[in-house]
Structure 1
Amino acid sequence: MGHSATGPNAADHARTTHRLAPARRRLPRDLPALPGEHLRPRPAAQPRRLTGAAVTGGRRGRGGVAAGLVASGHAGDRWGRRRLFLVGLGIATVSTLAAAAVPTMSWLLVLRVVQGLTSAVMMPQILATLQTVLAGEQRVRSVAVFSAASGVGTVAGQIVGGAFVTALPESLGWRGAQLAGAAVALVAFVGGFRVTPTHSAAPARIDLPGSVLLGACLLVLVSGLSLGPSSRWAPWDLALLALAVLLGAALWASQRGAARHGRAAVLPVDVVAVPALRTGLAMALVFFAGFGAFMFDFSVLTQGELGMSAFASGMATGPFALAFVAGSLLSTRLVRRHGARAMVGGALVQLVALGGTAALSFASLDPWAGWFQPLGIVLGLGQAMMFAPLVGTVMQAVPDRVAGMTGSLVSTAQQAALGLGVAVLGGLFAQWSAPLGPRSAFGAVTLVQMLLAVTFAGLAWRLDGRARRQARPEAAASQ
């Protein structure tokens, strides 16, 4: 783009820019926020050229979120959910302020991970509080609203962040966005005192060894998948993936041993063995991997190949956001009437929109963003019908004894999938852009996401069938 880097220093910028994509490709100023991270102040914008290191740092930040979710849920049960929420939000505020003043990109990456960990402290407390203070239809509706707000916040964050970055002097760049994020976090911190304080009357003991193994496994896995595509899968990347497998095996052995001896477990074997929960976790992994990758790749394509500003790129998702809101409002009614089959319908709607987006990308029609708008509306409706009812539907399908942990486990799957989706599908987009061109590469990755939509539909159908089979004996007994 013909001007010097605005990041912490030009040397870091020059060393890392080549790792994400070919040097000729223009990259976005802002990294899109992702579902479940709307409460954490993020750098709404990066330097005018987003470096490979910043992207990797974002993925590791999401790995940090996934690593701490379950353990933080246990901590909230024991020490108070509002207290943990305020602690996480307070640290987020301080770390975001610090990120605005970092002297080097390395310090920014460290603080990105800290921001991810603060999200891990906050997020489980929200769903656990809803689970505790509400019941029945109110609980289902509140979880759907929470899920919808997460998705809407994702798109709204891109629009607002893009507007903020465009309005700021270029000399401030992402530092000004960090200061704005800290101000928002401070307001949220004050409002957090209005949250109803809750805790568990009989909190489970914290499985410290299991929590460490789970966190290490997720961080190593996300790091390996993040670094692999940009370094052409160097030996150390493969070593990270092998280490993740070993840590996963050690975690499973640890949890089985805890079950045999009656010790506390971060992932209780009897809970993970519940079929409805396993299906729900798989659905979360599939959906959020595709969602995170699509939003990231869309930002790269529009701000890179299409030359749009951060604000224009965000505004290009405006109809998608409005459709998402409308679909979220309809989702509760559809689930009440059709059960999990409503999510099957959402996946089919998404499949149509993704197919149209792939065809548009391969055809290279101009203006691309203009042609995408009707497809974005269909995509927003489909994704809302998949996303908004997901957590509530799974929590209804599992037995009451595991309902309390379901929200934390689904949130863990969500954050792990966001990091993995951007790492894998974002990496494919970067690799395919050179031989195919960015638009065709976007279309090719969209075809992969269509496979994820089909997988999600199959899992939702399976979840619905299991729920209906369980409902028949209960209905017969009530008669």
Structure 2
Amino acid sequence: MTASNERTAAPPEFAAPGGTAAHHHRPGTVLAVIVGCQLMIGLDTSVVTIALPEVRQGLGLSTGSLAWIQNAYMLAFGGLLLLGGRAGDVFGRRRAFIAGVALFTAASLLGGLAETGWWLLAARAGQGVAAAVAAPSAMALIAQHFEGPARVRALSVFSAVTGAGAAAGMVAGGALTEAGSWRWVFFVNVPVGAVLLLAAPRVLAETRRRPGRFDLGGAVTSTLGMTALVHALIRAGSDGWGDGRVLAAFGAAAVLLAGFVAIETRVRQPVMPLWLLTGRDRAASYLGQFLLTAAMFGAFFFLTQYLQQVLHYGPLRAGAAFLPMVGMQFAVVRLAPRLMARMGARPLVVAGAVLLTAGLLWLSRLSPGDGYAAGLLVPFLLMGAGGGLSVMPLNATILAGVEPAQAGAASGVAQTMLWTGGSLGSAVMVTVHGSAASGGDIVHGMDAAFATGAVFAAAALAVAVLVLRVPR
């Protein structure tokens, strides 16, 4: 990019106070600050996954407790994402961005210093809250700092970094854990966050505040309701479905989620506009997204355990083992737009769900004697291709026919479905694993968990075949 024709524009959305200095910076500097935040958030969706066996050993956690280290982040992120977007509208995008980065940095430091499971759990929840505040403003700041072709290029870089962050997290988590300790997967965010906090006020321009209301009731009831449901499912695997605390958690989840629906039908500015769920194709796409991520996130959790506990891979080797899946997904994602232009969205979603189901069914037949090439390589390739084929068409269908003013809300609901689906899928698979591995056969328990993931993927396939009718 050259300074003469690619400098950031100053659209009227920017506030005058404190905003003019930002426009003297090259667009590359502006984009570096924004995508630096997105990379940090993207890394943390997966960087901790590879370190989980080391966390278990260091803090003495059970499989159920270990699952909460992931779920605390995903539930807080997904549950508060729409509220975080509203915070950027009301207080200004730069303020929300800086506040989110500051909280993420502090929570990462606390996570690295954790001495107990509860301490680490609270830090992960803090990271999720921070990501929910920073992530919506990061993308909005790109739209408001760049115009025309420069915006297209900036968004392509942003999207690539989003995908690369999650992929690189597997390898980075393995390298950091093997080189030092699991604590470094948290400490690594501190210097990155510090640099962003120093640069953001100098580089980014503030946006105008837009008056609005916060649907705190909707955000709290949805997040607590999903947390209670995940808690009930995980406890059921260890304490039984008839346990009083399990039944109480299920009851609390039902009450809270019913309250969430009641609140969203009455408030003027709901955190989740329920009308977005009424269109047939959009509702089917949201449900398909929920089911597919439920299958994949739970599978990642147990694949990490299999690689390190059964195949006895070190953290770095375990992280590198995911690279074929990541490479396949990147290759297919680049091909998917051309395929969708020729075939439409529905065939791609169907094909992706079929491939993902096949990969998980293959994993459900793993045995302790299977090596990487015989037991994991083909499923990794199938899952990468399945995820790459299905995600983009689902997102395109969700946004089709939505007014530009509502595109942010529609995208936010999609992200909420993704993270809550991942949390719920992991919880269900942990419960199934606990029941199937009660005799001490952890591989048998993992096989049952992968079979459950295949059921989620097959349900997404049924939705695509029977419900989705989006035209080409």
1:438 aligns with 2:442: yes
**Alpha-carbon distance between aligned partners in 2 of 1:420 and 1:214, rounded to the nearest angstrom:** 13
Task: Find the aligned partners of 2:442 and 2:373 in 1 and give their Cα distance.
Answer: 14
Q: Distance in 2 between matches of 1:195 and 1:431?
A: 53
The alpha-carbon distance between structure 1 residues 426 and 142, as it changes in their structure 2 partners (threshold 3 A), is farther
Matching residue of 2:245:
236
Corresponding residue number in structure 1 for 2:27: none
Per-residue CA deviation, residues 324-374 of structure 1 (Å, 9 max, x unaligned), is 221122122222332312222222222333333334x15x55324554223
What is the match of residue 184 of structure 1?
192
Deviation at 1:434, TM superposition (A): 3.7
Residues 106 and 190, structure 2, Cα contact 8 Å, conserved in 1? yes
1:92-140 CA distances to partner (integer Å, 9 max, x unpaired)? 1122112222343332222121111111112333454567678999999
How far does residue 309 in structure 1 lie from its aligned partner after superposition?
A: 1.6
Task: Give, in angstroms, the shift of residue 319 of structure 1.
Answer: 1.1
Aligned partners of 1:128 and 1:81: how far apart in 2?
Answer: 7
Task: Indicate whether 1:79 and 2:91 are aligned.
Answer: yes
Give yes or no for contact 1:207–1:265 (8 Å, CA) kept in 2. yes
**Aligned equivalent of 2:348, options 308, 317, 342:** 342
1:15-34 matches, within 5 Å, as: none
- Taking the aligned partners of 1:67 and 1:160, their CA distance within structure 2 comes to 27
- Give me the TM-score of the superposition, normalised by structure 1: 0.78
Give the Cα separation in 2 of the matches to 1:132 and 1:390: 26
Q: What does residue 410 of structure 2 align with?
A: 406
| Runs of 5+ consecutive residues of structure 1 not aligned to the other structure | 1-34, 469-479
Residue 450 (str. 1) matches residue 459 (str. 2): no
Question: Aligned to 1:266, which of 246, 268, 271?
Answer: 271
Task: Confirm or deny that 1:94 pairs with 2:103.
Answer: no
Structure-to-structure mapping, 1:318-337, within 5 angstroms = 318-337=323-342
Contact 1:56 1:227 survives alignment (8 Å) = no
One-letter code aligned to 1:55: A
Deviation at 1:295, TM superposition (A): 0.3
Query: 2 CA distance for matches of 1:36 and 1:251?
Result: 31
What is the aligned partner in structure 2 of residue 248 from structure 1? 257
Please say if residues 40 and 118 of structure 1, whose CA atoms lie closer than 8 Å, have aligned partners that are also in contact: no
1:355 corresponds to which residue?
361
Q: Structure 1 CA distance, aligned partners of 2:387 and 2:250?
A: 31
Identify which range, 129-138 or 319-328, moves more after superposition: 129-138
Partner of 1:422: 426
Report the CA distance shift for 1:277/1:108 in structure 2 as closer, same or farther (over 3 A). Answer: same
Partner of 1:308, secondary structure, is coil
Q: Which amino acid aligns with 1:248?
A: L
C-alpha distance in structure 2 between counterparts of 1:431 and 1:332, whole Å: 42
Of 71-80 and 103-112, more deviation after overlay is shown by: 103-112
Q: Which amino acid aligns with 1:71?
A: L
Point out where structure 2 has 5 or more consecutive residues left out of the alignment: 1-38
Match of 2:214 among 203, 206, 212: 206
C-alpha distance after superposition, 1:136-176 (max 9, x if no partner)? 999999878766654543332122211221122xxxx3223
Paired positions, count: 424
Q: Distance between the aligned counterparts of 2:151 and 2:343, measured in 1?
A: 18
**Counterpart for residue 9 of structure 1:** none
CA distance in 1, matches of 2:234, 2:149: 40
1:153 equivalent in alignment to 2:159: no
The amino acid that maps onto 2:168 is A
Quick check: 2:285–2:398 contact (8 Å CA) kept in 1? yes
Q: Cα distance, 1:461 vs. partner? A: 4.7
Residue identity in the other structure for 1:269 = L
**CA-to-partner distance for each residue in 1:301-322, whole Å, 9 max, x for gaps?**
1211222222221121121111
The aligned residue for residue 30 of structure 1 is none
Partner-residue secondary structure (3-state), 2:55: coil
Distance 1:209 1:306 in 2: 46
Residue 466 of structure 1 aligns to a residue whose secondary structure is coil
Percent identity of paired positions between Structure 1 and Structure 2: 25
- Cα 1:358–1:226 shift into 2, 3 Å: closer
- Tell me, in whole angstroms, the C-alpha distance in 1 between the residues paired with 2:220 and 2:96: 19
Retained in 2: the 8 A contact 1:59–1:419?
Answer: yes
CA distance in 2, matches of 1:202, 1:323: 42
Partner of 2:292: 287
Distance 1:190 1:198 in 2: 15
User: Is the CA contact (8 Å cut-off) linking 2:103 and 2:130 kept in structure 1?
Assistant: yes
- For residues 434-458 of structure 1, the C-alpha deviation after alignment (integer angstroms, 9 at most, x for no partner) is 4483334333332332232233234
- Stretch of structure 1 that moved more, 214-223 or 283-292: 214-223
SS where residue 270 of structure 2 aligns?
coil
Partner of 1:465: helix, strand, or coil? coil
Partner of 2:384: 380
Aligned AA (1:246): V
Structure 1 counterpart of 2:390, which letter? M
Distance in structure 2 (CA, Å) of the matches to 1:37 and 1:355: 31
Query: What is the CA–CA distance in structure 1 between the aligned matches of 2:466 and 2:200, rounded to whole Å?
Result: 39
Q: In the TM superposition, what whole-angstrom CA distance separates every residue of 1:396-418 from its partner, at most 9, and x where no partner exists?
A: 25444532201111111111111
What CA distance in whole angstroms lies between the structure 1 residues aligned with 2:331 and 2:206?
32
- CA change 1:143–1:245 in 2 (3 A) is farther
Q: Would the aligned equivalents of 2:80 and 2:129 in 1 still touch at CA under 8 Å? A: yes
Which segment is superposed worse, 289-298 or 422-431?
422-431
When residues 456 and 111 of structure 1 are mapped into structure 2, their CA distance, relative to the original with a 3 A threshold, is same
The structure-2 alpha-carbon separation of the partners of 1:231 and 1:134, relative to structure 1 and needing over 3 Å to count, comes to farther
Is residue 51 of structure 1 aligned with residue 61 of structure 2?
A: yes
Change (3 A) 1:355 1:103: closer
Q: Which amino acid aligns with 2:452?
A: V
**Cα separation, 2, equivalents of 1:324 and 1:83:** 35
Displacement, 1:65? Answer: 1.5
The structural deviation recorded for 1:422 is: 1.1
Q: In structure 2, what is the Cα distance between the partners aligned to 1:333 and 1:130? A: 25
Partner of 1:163: 175
Task: Note the C-alpha offset of 1:209.
Answer: 2.4
Q: Distance in 2 between matches of 1:383 and 1:141?
A: 24
